Every structure is written in structure tokens, then in C-alpha cells.
Amino acid sequence: MDKKLQQKLIQATDTLQDDTVQILQDLIRIRSYSGEEEEIVRYIEGKMQDFNFDEVYIDGLGSIVGRIGQGPLKILWDAHIDTVKVTEGESWHFPPFQGVIKNGFIYGRGAVDEKPAMAGFLSAGRIIAENYVHTELPFSLYVVGSVLEEDCDGYPLYHLIKNEGIKPDVVLLGEPTNLRVYRGQRGRMEIQISTHGKAAHGAHNQQGINAIYKMMPFVKALEELDKSLVPVEPLGKGSITVSDIMSRGPSLCSVPDFCRIHLDRRLTVGEDKNAVLQQLKKLLDQHKLTADVKIPEYRGSSWKGTKFKQDAYFPTWILGEDHFLVRAAQDTAERVLVKSQASGFWNFSTNGVATAGRLGIPTIGFAPGREELAHTAREELYLDDLQLATRFYSLFPFILAGINRE
């Protein structure tokens, strides 16, 4: 990218700085819990129309989609616009839905996870839409505000790509990276294991087979298995957590004939659904335990009333450091930041489990905000970082289109 174009884009971004902050404050003020995103979708729809996007629509699930340009390189920017709830137990220093600005920071639910990305996307989109002949752009830029990510990470983009005909070549996620280029994450899955026994009256317990007693040695074995898992770089160690246990019998004065445990399984490099199920099967065999093993299903409904379901499997994904998408992002980051930083990975899960994990589409992330503040009462964002991210977003499609052609 030549210096003149770069200078022009950065200047345009900086003249919009106050507007970008205003958009972020508006977004924080609109409460948008998962499944309740209509108001924020309508707000973004209005902005995209005002900013001269070529096409603006709400998809079948309820996510908002705006397109600029019709060039051959299809770029998808995703910012999920739902947030987790504010619970009664949380103690917020500033009210969570006011977007209070103080000493260069903005505070509130979504101030990190991840409303800044949408504010930056809208301003960067506006700059591109208002300053260029759309038919001459070397890319088609899809700006997506996805719903329901906090409930079922990945599903909104899976739906958009599988059911709505958008086929991106690359994806940029707006999950917080503290202005570093991120290129992967550990995956996760949930598993339910059930044992069956034989019910009997508690007074005649010798006649029964206690499903809980059958399960207990296996629970212990899972604790040991977790300790034995070894780190695989660059994502570290997977993990197994028994997160719930339930049992059922004719009454509380009976021998239970059913016991079920729920597992949270974090997946590192090389651990996928089949490998994990095989590992569990082997452990069950070692304990001579007959049990049902299944991956539970998520079921839900969007603000539009669209029902969805998906198995609780969110694959690990990772993009090589020398992939052209990572190189383009690092090149862009070096132009907007004072010093360059090594690429990194999220600890939490993102919509990349669908785009990269399930569908194999190269995916990266870049956004302001510290991941460790997400889902806490301390969500805060340094507004200068929002401005740097917005500069990144406005340069990135041009740099990517240039690199892609080489």
C-alpha cells in the first residue's frame, strides 16, 4: 500500500474519532443480551444505511449484514453484538448500560466483549463507502453483527455461510485481542456419560445396583486423566472438568438406577471430537464400565423466533504464522501501532470455531480490549485503542487485497 493512500485513510479515520466513540457509547447503552438483539440490530442497520453501504439486510437468524463493494476477494468482518447478562451479584463501579466516559476510558457491559469492534467496523466501513467508487474496490466487504454468540459460539456465522449464501475467503473477528493479531484458540466440547443400575427400596438396598456407585470410580479416573494431559504448543494443555452430576431413582429413599455426569472438555492442538470419544471409551473399557456417551445438543431461539440447534462441539483452530492473512494483518498492525507485537491466541471461544474450525475458512482476530475483562463487572476500554483499531480496519482490506494478488 502506498504511503498516500495510507495517509488518506488514517486521516479520514481520525476525523471520525468522535463519531466512533459516540457509536460505541450508543451500542453500550442498548442492552443486547443473547436472544434480545433486535434493538441493536435496528440501530446498526440504520447506521449502515446512513453510511452508504451497498446492501444492508437482516439474515434468517437475526444477524445484521452490510456489504460494501463487489470485488473478487470476499472479506467478512464479524462482531457479535450480543452480551452476557449483568447479574445481581456483580458490583459495577459505573452503571453497566450508560457507557460512562472518564479519563479516556469507556465503561459498561460490552465495552470489551465486543462492541468496540462494531463501532470500529462501522466507521471504517463508512470511510471506504464514502471515499471510493464501490465498483472499483478490489474486495467485497461484509460487515456482520452476529447474534447469539454468547449462547452458541460459531452458530451465527455457520448459519450465515451455510444457509444465506455468503462465501467469505477470509474472516476477521472483533473479539478482544488488545491490539494483537490472534490466529487461533483452543476448542471445546461437552459430553454426557450415563450409568444405569437397578432400583430398589432403601430398606432392601442389597437387591439394587446403585448407579452412583458405578459412576464414582470413573469420576476419579477422569480427574487423573485431566492431570495426565500434556501441553501441545502453541495452545497449551487441553482439560477435562466434571461440571455436573445428577442421579435419579424412584425416590430419595431408594437405590438410584440412573447417574449422569456432564463434562467440559477443552481441546488443544490435535484433539478433536473423535480423539476425545476414543479416549473416553478406552477409559470406560479399563474400568469395565458400561455407559452411554453422548455429545449434548444446544437448542435455542433467536429474537426473530428462528429456532436452531447444534451439537456442543466447537473445534480447535489455528492459522500458521506465515499464512497470507496473518501476514497482511501483521503488516497492517505495524502501520498503525508504535511497535509490532507477536501474534497470539484467545483463551476463550469465538465464532472462529465455525468459520475456521468447522468450515476451514482462514480466520484471524484484531480488536482493542483485554480478554480477561470480558464477562466481568470491570469491562473498560481505553478509547485511544479504539481509534488505533479503527485505523487498522480501514487499511486492512486494501493491504489484504494487495497481498492476495501477489
Interface residues with Zn ion (CB under 5 A) are: 113-114, 175
- Rg over alpha carbons for the chain, rounded to the nearest Å, is 24
**Min dist. Cβ of residue 119 to Zn ion (A):** 14
Choice between 127 and 374, CB closer to Zn ion: 374
**Min dist. Cβ of residue 165 to Zn ion (A):** 25
Choice between 113 and 379, CB closer to Zn ion: 113
Choice between 37 and 113, CB closer to Zn ion: 113
The answer to whether 371 is a known catalytic residue is no
**Min dist. Cβ of residue 373 to Zn ion (A):** 11
b/e for 197-207, b at 16 or more Cβ within 10 A? bebbeeeeeee
Catalytic residue among 59, 78, 113, 149: 149
Catalytic residue among 82, 271, 331, 385: 82
Choice between 257 and 371, CB closer to Zn ion: 371
**Min dist. Cβ of residue 114 to Zn ion (A):** 5
Least Cα distance to 64 among 75, 49, 74, 52 occurs for 49
The arrangement of strands across the sheet holding 380-382 comes to 101-102, 105-107, 380-382
**Min dist. Cβ of residue 80 to Zn ion (A):** 6
Q: Is the dihedral of CA 379, 385, 387, 390 positive or negative?
A: negative
State phi, psi for 384 to the nearest 5 degrees: -60, -35
Choice between 81 and 395, CB closer to Zn ion: 81
Residue whose C-beta lies closest to Zn ion: 113
CA distance between the termini of the chain: 12
b/e for 218-252, b at 16 or more Cβ within 10 A? beebbeebbeebeeeeebbebbbebeeeebebeee
The answer to whether 406 is a known catalytic residue is no
- Residues identified as active-site: 82, 149
